[in-house]
Amino acid sequence: MKASWRTMVWYFLKPYPWFFIGIVVMTMLTSLLEGLNVAAFFPVFQSLLGGGEVAGEGVLGAIVAVSARLPFRDPVVSAAALLVSITVLKCVLTVLREGLVAYASGMVQHDVKTRLMQSYVVAPYAFFLEKKQWKLSYDVLVAASRVGALIR
């Protein structure tokens, strides 16, 4: 009986649960900052266009309140500083997330190739006679790389 694709993927990825939890958390934080980055334009427009007061509730009210608490006299500078700081923080988290994804992908790929090569080392000579040389090379070079690419 052939295993389902979920069973096969889980077999290769289950030794690394903390990588995936970290990737999911970093992705959620980056997504949250992406939304805040769009909302951070509101105080800039409000200060440039001379908009009225915003109700203190909701995301826009919180963004305007944070912008007003920054230690700058000019509201345009405060709003721009908030926008730049949120953008920089989002970019830093995006780079960290991509680094974590690359590291986890490399670890999974390395471990799969190592396990595969160790199974080849202890395999009997008849195993190599039964298998085609291209199949053995494909398993080590290409198939193991695709397991690492599952994380990306």
What pLDDT digit, counting tens, does each position of 120-146 carry? 889 888 888 888 888 888 888 888 788
Structure tokens at 76: 């345009």
Q: Can you tell me the distance from the alpha carbon of 116 to that of 139, in angstroms, rounded to the nearest whole number?
A: 8
CA–CA dist 87, 81 (Å, integer): 10
pTM, rounded to two decimals:
0.77
Which of the four pLDDT bands, split at 50, 70 and 90, describes residue 54? low
pLDDT, tens digit (0-9, with 9 covering 90-100), for 55-112 = 567 888 888 888 888 888 888 888 889 999 999 999 999 999 999 999 998 898 898 8
Q: What is the identity of the amino acid at 91?
A: C
Tokens linked to 83:
């926008």
Please report the pLDDT score of residue 53 as a whole number: 67
What is the reported pLDDT for 83? 92
CB 11 within 8 A of CB 115: no
